[in-house]
């Protein structure tokens, strides 16, 4: 390694963290449904990304970190293997929700999905990745992405209709 190489690498990684952390945190929050767990997940993903930083291509850094994030979430889920308990979904007939309440409802509804469907829905529709990009990221077939997305969206629609008494 040349002199100053580590300092340059650290500066590049610091810039990457500053630029990509908000997007990674939003994705982690949707995957976990919990603010603190999302921060922990992003921190763990960034630590692993830093270790691999010399091998990461600059143009693929966000995709690499996102894959680490999803894999880390899967590892945490496998270690716990428990059900996620969420509070009751807001009652139908309430006054119009604020944006914060809408986001909260989305996270609660996402928490009802099986892990695979949740990952696919978040990556496909929230992070706006193509079917092929999601398939590559999760190491599954494109057909499995289509199937999980279709089933996940159908389940979300059913949950939303049930929770709001068909208001939407």
pLDDT in tens, 11-54: 999 999 999 999 999 999 988 888 999 999 999 999 999 999 99
Q: From residue 15, how far is each of 39, 58, 120 by CA, in Å?
A: 18, 11, 28
The closest of 2, 59, 46, 27 to 128, measured between CA atoms, is 27
Q: Dihedral (C-alpha) 153, 106, 65, 123: value to the nearest 10 degrees? A: 20
Q: Which CATH number fits domain 1-82: 1.10.150, 3.40.190, 1.10.1740, 3.10.100?
A: 1.10.1740
pLDDT in tens, 110-126: 889 998 999 999 999 88
Q: Where in the chain are the domains?
A: 1-82, 88-168
Same fold, 1-82 and 88-168: no
pLDDT tens per residue, range 48-99: 999 999 999 989 999 999 999 998 887 776 666 554 455 555 454 454 556 7
Res 79: pLDDT: 64
pLDDT bin (cut points 50, 70, 90) of residue 4 is: low
Band (pLDDT 50/70/90 cuts) for residue 105 is: confident
Fold of the domain built from segment(s) 88-168: Arc Repressor Mutant, subunit A (1.10.10)
Q: Which of 92-96, 105-109, 163-167 has the highest mean pLDDT?
A: 105-109
Q: Is the pTM here over 0.75, yes or no?
A: no
pLDDT of residue 126: 84
pLDDT at residue number 44? 93
Rg (CA), the chain: 18
Q: Which of 86, 84, 87, 97 is nearest to 164 (CA)?
A: 97
- Report pLDDT for 164: 67
């Amino acid at each position: 390694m040349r002199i100053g190489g580590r300092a340059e690498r650290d500066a590049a990684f610091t810039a990457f963290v500053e630029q990509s952390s908000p997007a990674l945190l939003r994705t982690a929050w949707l995957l976990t449904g919990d603010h603190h767990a999302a921060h922990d997940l992003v921190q763990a993903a960034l630590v692993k990304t830093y270790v691999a930083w010399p091998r990461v291509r600059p143009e693929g850094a966000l995709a690499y970190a996102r894959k680490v994030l999803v894999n880390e979430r899967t590892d945490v889920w496998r270690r716990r293997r428990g059900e996620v308990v969420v509070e009751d979904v807001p009652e139908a007939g309430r006054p119009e929700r604020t944006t914060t309440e809408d986001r909260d409802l989305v996270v609660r509804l996402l928490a009802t999905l099986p892990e695979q469907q949740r990952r696919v829905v978040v990556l496909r529709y929230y992070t706006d990745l193509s079917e092929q990009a999601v398939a590559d990221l999760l190491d599954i077939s494109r057909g499995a992405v289509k199937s999980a997305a279709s089933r996940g969206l159908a389940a979300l629609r059913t949950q939303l209709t049930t929770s709001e008494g068909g208001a939407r």
